[in-house]
């Protein structure tokens, strides 16, 4: 069943529920059937088997044999110190096993950390009335009420949405808010704008959704499942230890057999000759290798733990040290994800007159879903920065929103129709390259001036100059609503986003984190290449990369179309 393709009424029928929610008795029955809405630890290898594995890997087996030979030698010829050597070897095996086992046991608690991302309380409809319930009691078929700041308790299909945006970072790693709608969608499941997923955050708006999956059946639960089922291959260090252990053990055995044969040829007593050969073998076993490596990796693991990095396998510390390329997102990783308006460009006008600037702030204010509440700006960081700049420039404005065409990643723009006093305007903000074909003129010193080639060149120059400063650039445009247009019947969005008048360009800055330049420099000194990935324009990305020391002269920027056209070998050569 492709639930994203169904209209809301059929969604309710398919999930055997209603717009008033589940009856309490049915909800209790489903809780028994599906179980609590919580992440469960995947049943893996029992603890005793994990502990036993620390005593049975190749190097441990070599040490067990060495300890056995030492005890045998002590039994046959007491007083030679072989007992102390055998005990020391056993202590080495025990220390290594305890250190490694404790570290891996701590890593298994990662599922408990994932649980913290799920909400503790959620509002659901039961018997037609809203109720606050613990998230673990939510069941498939529950109708959930979502508002700004809520975390989604389970994978759910929206049946109503009002300016709803969600942050899917727990699933995708991308922090940009995504608009959600209740309309049917014929595309891929995970890309459906009418679905919300467990653990994601409601950034703005409100919605009503029907829960489809809970607990381990959610997409979030599948991620938790992977943390316990993925078996990593042997790390480079582990492979090298095995190779060295086999080599040294083989040499020790050959030397022992060789000296035994030589002693026999020289006529030495059998037992004295045998004990000498055992001593040669035990002396050449690398019993110091295991504690040295284990303690070094444990110390590295503890240092990483202090920086909130979880190490599931001790040898992963060395594998991390073998990294040669780091691919990093820009927004929120290399930068602080705190947007602020730094520049406003408007078309040329007479000295002391700039009506386009006021229009820009009106667009920034009304084509915006951020809000100023309780002394703080709430909503998407970009929209919050625009709202703050507009309020500082022109104060609070009054108006009525009649229509909204939400931002999405393909259109790269947002449009609202607002009534502001006697005016009813279409206000649009978005990427200039996609807005440019919809512009008919700009708001210059002589009023509305057609965009001739000279003006287009000036516009592009201003756009590139702002990007070269490392700013994220958005175009602001508007037009008046004609009497024949009715916002209550929006129709095709393209009909509203036409014949627009450019008011200006606004440049927003997302400052780099102060520790990033030093981190990039340290990576370079360690021989690690750092690559930056971002959805921003190439010039903006290059300017930020230069600011943090990531890019120098001749740095290459690969944009989306070029990247998609690359074959796997070409991409491998680029990396």
329 is catalytic: yes
- Token code pair at residue 278: 């055992």
By CB atoms closer than 10 A (0-12, 13-18, 19+), residue 64 is middle
End-to-end CA distance of the chain: 40
Which of 317, 298, 390 is closest to 95 using CA atoms? Answer: 298
- 49 close to 43: Cβ distance less than 8 angstroms: no
**Within 266-325, where are the H helices?**
270-284, 289-306, 315-321
CA distances from 37 to 115, 138, 200, 241, 242 (A): 11, 6, 15, 44, 44
- Token code pair at residue 384: 């919050």
- 391 close to 341: Cβ distance less than 8 angstroms: no
Give the integer Cα–Cα distance in Å for 82 and 72. 9
CA distances from 104 to 47, 54, 171, 237 (A): 10, 11, 25, 17
- Token code pair at residue 488: 């209550």
- Token code pair at residue 481: 């609503």
Q: What is the DSSP letter of 218?
A: S
Which of 370, 406, 378, 373 is closest to 497 using CA atoms? Answer: 406
- 477 close to 414: Cβ distance less than 8 angstroms: no
Angle formed by the axes of helices 58-76 and 82-107, nearest 10°: 160
CA distances from 138 to 55, 129, 145, 338 (A): 44, 15, 12, 35
Which of 220, 191, 249, 213 is closest to 58 using CA atoms? Answer: 249
Q: Which of 150, 155, 329, 492 is an active site residue?
A: 329
Report the SS3 class of residue 235: coil
- 148 close to 205: Cβ distance less than 8 angstroms: yes
Phi, psi of 411 (to 5 degrees): -75, -30
Hey, which residues are catalytic here?
329
């Amino acid at each position: 069943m492709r639930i994203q393709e169904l209209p809301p009424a059929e969604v309710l029928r398919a999930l055997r529920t209603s717009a008033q929610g589940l009856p309490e008795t049915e909800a209790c029955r489903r809780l028994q059937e599906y179980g609590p809405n919580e992440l469960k630890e995947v049943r893996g290898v029992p603890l005793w088997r994990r502990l036993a594995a620390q005593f049975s890997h190749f190097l441990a087996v070599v040490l067990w044999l060495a300890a056995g030979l030492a005890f045998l030698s002590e039994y046959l010829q007491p007083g030679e110190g072989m007992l102390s050597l055998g005990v020391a070897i056993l202590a080495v095996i025990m220390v290594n096993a305890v250190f490694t086992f404790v570290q891996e046991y701590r890593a298994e608690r990662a599922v408990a950390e994932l649980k913290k991302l799920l909400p503790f309380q959620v509002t659901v409809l039961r018997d037609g009335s809203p109720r606050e319930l613990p998230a673990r009691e939510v069941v498939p078929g529950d109708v959930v009420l979502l508002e700004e700041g809520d975390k989604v308790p389970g994978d759910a299909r929206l049946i109503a949405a009002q300016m709803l945006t969600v942050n899917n970072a727990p699933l995708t790693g991308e922090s940009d808010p995504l608009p959600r709608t209740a309309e049917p969608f014929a595309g891929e499941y995970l890309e459906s704008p009418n679905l919300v997923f467990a653990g994601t955050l409601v950034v703005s708006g409100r919605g009503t959704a029907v829960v489809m999956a809970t607990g381990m059946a959610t997409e979030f639960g599948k991620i938790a499942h992977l943390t316990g089922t993925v078996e990593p291959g042997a790390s480079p260090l582990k492979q090298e230890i095995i190779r060295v252990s086999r080599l040294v053990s083989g040499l020790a055995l050959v030397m022992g057999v060789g000296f035994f044969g030589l002693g026999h040829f020289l006529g030495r007593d059998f037992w004295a000759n045998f004990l000498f050969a055992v001593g040669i073998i035990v002396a050449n076993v690398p019993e110091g290798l295991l504690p040295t490596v284990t303690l070094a990796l444990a110390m590295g693991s503890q240092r990483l733990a202090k920086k909130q990095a979880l190490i599931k396998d001790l040898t992963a510390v060395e594998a991390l040290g073998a990294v040669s390329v780091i691919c990093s997102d820009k927004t929120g990783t290399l930068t602080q994800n705190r947007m602020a308006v730094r520049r406003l460009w408007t078309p040329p006008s007479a000295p002391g007159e700039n009506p386009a600037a006021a229009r820009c702030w009106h667009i920034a204010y009304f084509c915006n879903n951020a809000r100023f509440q309780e002394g703080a700006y709430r909503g998407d960081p970009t929209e919050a920065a625009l709202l703050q700049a507009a309020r500082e420039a022109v104060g609070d404005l009054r108006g009525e929103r009649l229509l909204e065409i939400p931002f999405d990643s393909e259109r790269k723009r947002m449009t609202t129709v607002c009534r502001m006093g006697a005016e009813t305007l279409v206000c649009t903000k978005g990427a200039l390259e996609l807005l440019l074909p919809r512009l008919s003129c700009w708001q210059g010193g002589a009023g509305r001036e057609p965009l001739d080639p000279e003006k287009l060149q000036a516009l592009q120059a201003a756009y590139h100059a702002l990007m070269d400063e490392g700013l994220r650039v958005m175009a602001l445009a508007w037009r008046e609503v004609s009497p024949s247009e009715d916002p209550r019947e929006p129709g095709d969005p393209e009909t509203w986003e036409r014949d627009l008048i450019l008011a200006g360009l606004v440049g927003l800055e997302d400052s780099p984190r102060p520790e990033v330049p030093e981190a990039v420099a340290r990576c370079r000194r360690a021989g690690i290449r750092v690559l930056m990935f971002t959805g921003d324009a190439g010039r903006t990305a290059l300017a930020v990369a230069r600011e943090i020391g990531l890019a120098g002269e001749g740095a290459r920027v690969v944009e989306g179309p070029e990247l998609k056209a690359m074959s796997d070998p070409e991409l491998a050569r680029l990396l």
